[in-house]
Structures are given as structure tokens and as C-alpha cells.
Amino acid sequence: MDFSVIVCTYNRAGNLPTCVAAIAEQQGAQSLQWEIVLVDNNSTDNTRAIAEKLAGNLQGPTSLRYVFECQQGLNFARNRGIAESRGKYFAFVDDDILVSSRWLASLYRTLEDNDADAAGSCIHLAEHLRLPKWINLDMYGFLGYQDYGLHCFRMDGVAQYPFGGNMSFNRRVVDKVGWFNTKLGRKGAGRKRSELFKGAETDYFHRLAEAGARIFYTPDAVVFHQVQPFQLTKRYFRTIHFNAGYQKAFFDGTQYARTLMGVPLFLYQQFARNAWRYVCEVASSGVDAAFRQQMTTGHFAGMICGYLGRRRSTEKST
């Protein structure tokens, strides 16, 4: 098997027909042996029935296999997909992603021609999407947007790496760095604060970079993110920033010389400076214009809570 396309899904049965149809209608991949592996991450809707119907109706050079993963969490689903897939290469597609017609052929060519361990490409927002005015261009990345331009290049895996909505791998990466960390990443639908964690891809690509992996960007394997309505709210943006700070601090094993209640002293200062900056921006430019600064302030608040949570966790374990 040349390639496996892994679709991880949770309670979005309505998204699957269009998602799978776009994958199945690939051009330039006629010479490849490839498959679609749909991983149901413990859905409670009719995901299984829809998947089985799609598998029965699928026409073309590929097939679809349904897999059920009972442990809740995107990284549990990803790891199950890797284990169940049979391709030399595998790629992940979220259930709210529509791939372009030459997506598979472009990723395969990039991985093959560069002897790459991983490859990714552009993630564009759906063309019909209308964004609130408070979402600035530099905030698109928090909706999964990524575009490094028109030329293929090797990414460093630290400052530059593929996003989770459009990433592919050579199977040998499992031997190099193992599986996705199941302590990180989204749980469930990602609508609640306790579910909405990111950073899983960052962790994986950082580990690949440390192992000297070859990671490449190609401009030709474009996908389109069908952003969900709840992701266009200020609450969503605040939550992902707070949770990112919390997660970063909670798993930080650094020993700091000066702390207060387990929190590095400098972090209180950073929070205070950014909170004051936010107040000043609200006064001068208004709440919407200052929202990006509010997100940054929330990130530092999350870090403070994360260190406090780490301290409590350590005390309980001892």
C-alpha cells in the first residue's frame, strides 16, 4: 500500500459525506494503491452508519475502512489510525477539511522526491466563510490557516512545521519518535474549556526536529478548512489561548529559582504588564481592536493557573 488517508472524527457525521467525497475524487493518483481509514473517536451520533454507507457507495481507486476508538481524544484516534493503516505514507484529514483535487498526488510526490519524514501544505479558510470584524489577518492561524508561499522548502520543525489539518508522514517516523502524546490535544468536540487543548502537532514536530527528521512544505496540496460557527466566537479564541498557557506551564519541568506558590515570579510581572496594555488599548482603540491583546493576557493567566495546577498535582502525588 502506497498511502493511507486517516480521517479522525467525533460526532460530526454530517461532515463526512463531503469530506470523504473530496478525498475520493483525487486526480493524478491513479498509479497509487491507497486507502481511507475513518477513525470514529467514540461518537454518539450516527457516524458508524454514515461511514458504512460511504464505504459501500465509494467508487474509484480507493476503499474506506471504519475503525472505532473508544478512548476519547484526538491523539488516541490518530494513534489508532496509524496502527490500523497500511500505507508506506499516511496523512491526517480532519472531518471539517475539504482536500483539493491533487492533494494526495502532491503529498506523495513531495514525500518520495525528498526522502521526507513528513510533509505539509497550505490550509486555507473556506471561500464562503465570513469572519467577524475583530478577527485580524494575524489571527487566521488560530483557525488553522497556513500558507508559506509558492515554493517547496525544508521546514525546521520548530518555527515552521505543518499544522494538524494538513500533515503527512513516512511510516518510519514511528520508529524515530514514537506515537502522538495522548496527554496533549483536543478531547471530544472541543466546545468546552476542558476539551479545547492544542499543541499536539507542535510537540510531535519538535520531537521530529530533535531527531533530525526531514520535514517539507509543498504549496500544491491545498486543503480548505470548513470553520465551525463556535470557532468564530471570542470565547473560543480566549479559551484556546488560556488552555495553551495552562498546558505549557503544567508540563514544564523547569526548576525556577524564584517562585510564589509554584509560579515563577517573572510570570506575575508579565501578566500585569499585558493586562495594563490591554486596558490602555481598550481605552484608546476599543474592545474589538484590543481583543488580540486580551488573548495574550489570557495566555499568561493560563500559565499562572497551569503552574498552580502542577503544584497541586505534585502535592497530591506525594
Distances (CA, A) of 131 to 39, 125, 128, 231, 236: 30, 10, 10, 10, 14
Q: Are the CB atoms for 45 and 7 separated by under 8 Å?
A: no
Q: Provide the 8-state DSSP code for 299.
A: H
pLDDT number for residue 98: 97
Written as one letter, the residue type at 144 is G
- The pTM assigned to this predicted structure is 0.89
Q: How confident is the model at residue 185 (pLDDT cuts 50, 70, 90)?
A: confident
The answer, yes or no, to whether residue 156 has pLDDT greater than 60, is yes
Q: How far apart are CA 40 and CA 67, in angstroms?
A: 6
The answer, yes or no, to whether residue 189 has pLDDT greater than 60, is no
* Tens digits of residue pLDDT in 251-299: 898 999 999 999 999 999 999 999 999 999 999 999 999 999 999 999 9
**Across 120-125, average pLDDT:** 97
**Across 148-175, average pLDDT:** 96
- Alpha carbon distance, N-terminus to C-terminus of the chain: 49
* Tens digits of residue pLDDT in 57-111: 887 668 899 999 999 999 999 999 999 999 999 999 999 999 999 999 999 999 9
Q: How many residues would you count in the chain?
A: 318
* Tens digits of residue pLDDT in 190-245: 555 555 566 789 899 999 999 999 999 999 999 999 999 999 999 999 999 999 99
* Tens digits of residue pLDDT in 11-52: 999 999 999 999 999 999 999 999 999 999 999 999 999 999
> 54 is written with which cell numbers?
460511504
pLDDT number for residue 89: 98
